[in-house]
Amino acid sequence: MSRRYFGTDGIRGRTNQTPMTAETAMRVGMAAGRHFMRGSHRHRVVIGKDTRLSGYMIENALVAGFTSVGMDVVQFGPIPTPAVAMLASSMRADLGVMISASHNPYADNGIKLFGPDGYKLSDEDEAKIEALIESAVPLADAPHIGRARRVEDGRGRYIHAVKSTFPPHLRLDGLKIALDCANGAAYNTAPPAFWELGAEVIPIGVTPNGTNINQECGSTAPQLLQETVVASGADIGIALDGDADRLIVVDETGVIVDGDQIMALIGTSWARRGLLRGGGVVATVMSNLGLERLLAAQGIALVRTRVGDRYVLEEMRARGCNVGGEQSGHMILSDYATTGDGTIAALQVLAALVESGKPASALLRQFEPVPQLLRNVRFAGGKPLEAESVRTVIAQAETELNGSGRLVIRPSGTEPVIRVMAEGDDAGQVERVVARICDAVASAAAHA
């Protein structure tokens, strides 16, 4: 079914352009509020946001929408996405809302919705909310209009929750950690959490001004973190993204460690300790073949889903798995959280580092990645993947890689881009295959 508002991770777009306008945000509040007003109790929604300038506008519009249909609103200000999920559940709210465009530049923004259980909404719920956005939603009569209040201790509640996931017999004393918070939602939660556990913290990206979120910092721009780790002699570097639901790690030599290596570390470690449930680890089609081979050698299955942490979580819940994630750094550890949480995942990595006594470079290189190449082809319109010329080139590439690699081609869920990924034991072959497919897609798009 075609979606007008919701993509792979909520509603997202350029601020003050459809759908990310104050008017649409108000209608989202009205529609989502009405959809979740079930039962006779007083209904409540909790709202958090990252540090984008447009967060003020979107937040106030959402508050207007929710209160207009009779739902009370609790506003927490800047807190990580997983904090919203946690607080929605712990405060017995009917709905949780995070205002964030994650790793995107400040000019973008987004709306992520969580149900009363702290999990992201199903496709069915999103479809029903979409239908309500474009309909006449009944408004509350005057005595039943909702109230709004701001709660200041959401940050403290979240810090306590994430610290409780760290093994109680361990401390971070003597560990020097460079921590990049992307000038985003974790700027005032992650540094104190690590410091309170005993670490020496070198903070980066903790001075948000509304327009510098993810700007040359954070998990999508780790160069500053790499330089800081090496220059300061840090034991490890951790970079979160704008809403802190994912992370990238840098070892003490300045080498980047992606989500696949982190999943390998946590998955194999938990399996040895008898903590891994569901018989495997859940990842997306983008995870490296090297991860699959490592896990298979230890009798652990790698279950793949389509791209999107919500689909990873759906599969985890269906199979009873407790470890899953994405190569990009979304880590879902369902023993502790209902969504991706970069801070909790980082604490699991740090626990393993402390217990092993090894340097990060030795601990975090769990497998040798198979050569993998991802390229994006931007297009203006049409459906280039449906062109016969593109289908022919893709079929030829699949035949060429059969048995020695993989091919994943998909449209982006958030922008007009075709993502072309190939991996295999022969790096030259992978590069040639990707180049041919990208050329074919670009040519088809140009003639659409």
Tokens of 340: 């991706």
Amino acid at 33: G
What whole-number distance in Å separates Cα of residue 11 and Cα of residue 50? 15
**Element containing residue 260 per DSSP (H, E):** helix 259-272
Give exposure, 424-433, as e/b (b: 16+ Cβ within 10 Å).
beeeebbeeb
What SS3 class is residue 21?
coil
- For 432, residues 6+ apart whose C-beta sits below 8 A from its C-beta are none
What whole-number distance in Å separates Cα of residue 109 and Cα of residue 103? 10
What SS3 class is residue 442?
helix
Q: Are 444 and 383 in contact (CB under 8 A)?
A: no
Q: Are 255 and 361 in contact (CB under 8 A)?
A: yes
Q: Which of 447, 423, 420 is nearest to 435 (CA)?
A: 420
Cα–Cα distances in angstroms (integers) from residue 365 to residues 249, 255, 263, 290, 368, in the given order: 11, 10, 11, 11, 7
Q: How many other CB atoms are found less than 10 A from the CB of residue 244? A: 32
Cα–Cα distances in angstroms (integers) from residue 48 to residues 96, 111, 290, 399, 423, in the given order: 8, 10, 37, 48, 38
Tokens of 70: 């009779």
What SS3 class is residue 3?
coil
Tokens of 287: 């995870």
Q: Identify the active-site residue in 102, 219, 269, 328.
A: 102
Write the DSSP assignment of 149-215 as a string of letters.
Answer: EE-TTHHHHHHHHHHTTS-TT---TT-EEEEE-TTSTTTTTHHHHHHHTT-EEEEES----SS-TTT
Q: How many residues does the chain have?
A: 448
What whole-number distance in Å separates Cα of residue 131 and Cα of residue 127? 6
Token look-up 């719920």 returns 125
Amino acid at 151: V
Tokens of 349: 């990595």
- For 168, residues 6+ apart whose C-beta sits below 8 A from its C-beta are none
Whether 122 is catalytic is: no
Q: Which residues are catalytic?
A: 102
